[in-house]
Amino acid sequence: MESFTPLTAALGGSLIGLATAVLWLGNGRIAGISGIFGQLLPPAQTVVWRLVFLVALVLATFVTAKLFPGLGVGGVEPARLVEAPASWGVPTPVWLGIAGLLTGLGTKIGNGCTSGHGVCGLARLSVRSLVAVAVFFGVAIITVAVTGVV
Amino acid sequence: MASLKLPYLATAALSGALFGAGLYVSQMVDPLKVLHFLDFTAIPSGGWDPSLAFVMVPAVIVMFIAVRLGKRRQAPLFDTAFHEPEYKRIDKRLVGGAALFGIGWGMAGICPGPAISLIAFVPDNLWIFLVTMLIGSLAGSLVIPSGHSKRLVDAQ
C-alpha cells in the first residue's frame, strides 16, 4: 500500500516519546496537550511554560516541514487538510466547530487526550488511561464509520 | 517559582520542539491520514492505512523507560516533585469525556496536539477548531466539581 508509512510513523512516535520523557524527567510534568492547552488562560499559575511548550511545538513543526517537505502531510497541500472533513451536507466550518467543541469538552471532562492518556498514561500503566484510550479510539472508529467522513 | 526559571522553560521548549517534530514526521498532523487510520470500514477492501498504530508503540516504550528512570529519583531535575495524577477512579466522567473526545476526533481527524501543530501551515479553517476547542475546554471546567478539578489540574 502506497500510503503505508510504518517507518516514519515509528520515528515520529519515538520523537513524541522523547518529548514526553524530557518533560517528565526535567520538570515532572505530563505532556498532555489538551491539559497544556486547556490551562492557557489565567488564573492558571503555570501559563508561561505552557506557552513556551506550545510555541516551540508550532515552530518545530514549521521547521521540520521546511526541511522535509511532503513527508508529514503525504504530499497534500496543508491548507486544504482542514477543509476536507465534512459529511451529511454540513458545511466544513460548522462541522469543524462541532468537532473542536467536543474535543475541548471531552478532553477536559475526561482529563486527557491522545498524548496525556495515550502516551503518558499507558507508559505509567494507568488503568484510567487504558480505559480512556479504549473508549476514545473505539468511539472515533465508530464515528468515522457512521459519518462517512473519509 | 521553579516554573519560571530558565532550565525549566528550556526543558518545556525542548519537549515542545521534539513533540512538534514528532507530530510532523509521523504524519499525525495530517487529518486525512488520521481519518484513514480510523476508517476500519476500509479493512475488507484493503484500503485501511494502519501506519499510525506505529506511532503509539515506540512513544509509549520511550516514555515507559523515562517513568522507570523517574521512579529512582526523589524529584525531576528542575522541579521539587513529579506531578502525577492522584485521581485513580474510573468513573462516568472519564468514560463520558473520552467518548465525547472520540466523536470530535472521528469527525475531524484532529486531536489536540496536531490542532496546535497545524498552526505552522496556517490552514484556512483551523482557527475555528482551535477557538471551539478552547470554548469546549472552558465549558468542561464548569461542569467538573472544583475539588476534583484541583486534584487533576496539578497533574496536567
| Among B140, B90, B69, residue whose Cα is nearest residue A101 | B140
State yes or no: pLDDT of A1 exceeds 60: no
Terminal Cα distance for chain B, rounded: 17
The x, y and z cell numbers of residue B73, run together, are 529519583
Between B13 and B84, whose confidence is greater?
B13
Report the percent of chain B where pLDDT is more than 70: 92
Which of A77-113 are b and which e, b meaning 16 or more Cβ less than 10 Å from the residue's Cβ? Answer: ebeebbebbbeeeeebbebbbbbbbbbbbbbbbbbbb
Q: Compute the average pLDDT of residues B16-44.
A: 94
State yes or no: pLDDT of B70 exceeds 60: yes
What is the distance of C-alpha B70 from the center of its chain?
20
Q: Which chain B residues are Cβ-neighbours of A49 within 8 angstroms?
A: 3, 8-9, 12
**Of the candidate ranges A58-62, A87-91, B12-16, the one whose mean pLDDT is the lowest:** A87-91
pLDDT of residue A141: 98
pLDDT of residue B153: 47
CB-facing half-sphere around the CA of B90: CA atoms within 13 A? 12
Q: Compute the average pLDDT of residues A132-139.
A: 98
pLDDT of residue A69: 81
Of B3, B11, B26, the CB nearest to A13: B26
Mean pLDDT of all residues belonging to chain B: 91
pTM of the model: 0.94
pLDDT of residue A72: 63
Between B148 and B83, whose confidence is greater?
B83
Mean pLDDT of all residues belonging to chain A: 90
Whole-complex ipTM: 0.94
CB spacing of B156 vs A65 below 8 angstroms = no
SS3 at position B58: helix
**Of the candidate ranges A36-40, A75-79, B82-86, B146-150, the one whose mean pLDDT is the lowest:** B146-150
pLDDT of residue A116: 96
Integer-rounded Cα Rg, in Å, for chain B is 18
Between A88 and B152, whose confidence is greater?
A88
pLDDT of residue A75: 64
8-state DSSP, B86: -
State yes or no: pLDDT of B35 exceeds 80: yes
Smallest Cα distance from B84 to chain A, Å: 8
Helical H segments across chain B, by residue range: 6-26, 31-38, 53-71, 92-108, 112-117, 126-143, 146-153
SS3 at position A31: coil
CB spacing of B125 vs A136 below 8 angstroms = no
Q: What are the pLDDT digits (tens) for A63-104?
A: 999 898 877 666 666 667 777 777 888 888 999 999 999 999
The x, y and z cell numbers of residue B49, run together, are 492505512
Q: Which chain B residues are Cβ-neighbours of A28 within 8 angstroms?
A: 70, 75-76, 79, 81-83
| Among A42, A17, A20, A56, residue whose Cα is nearest residue B9 | A56
pLDDT of residue B156: 44
Smallest Cα distance from B6 to chain A, Å: 10
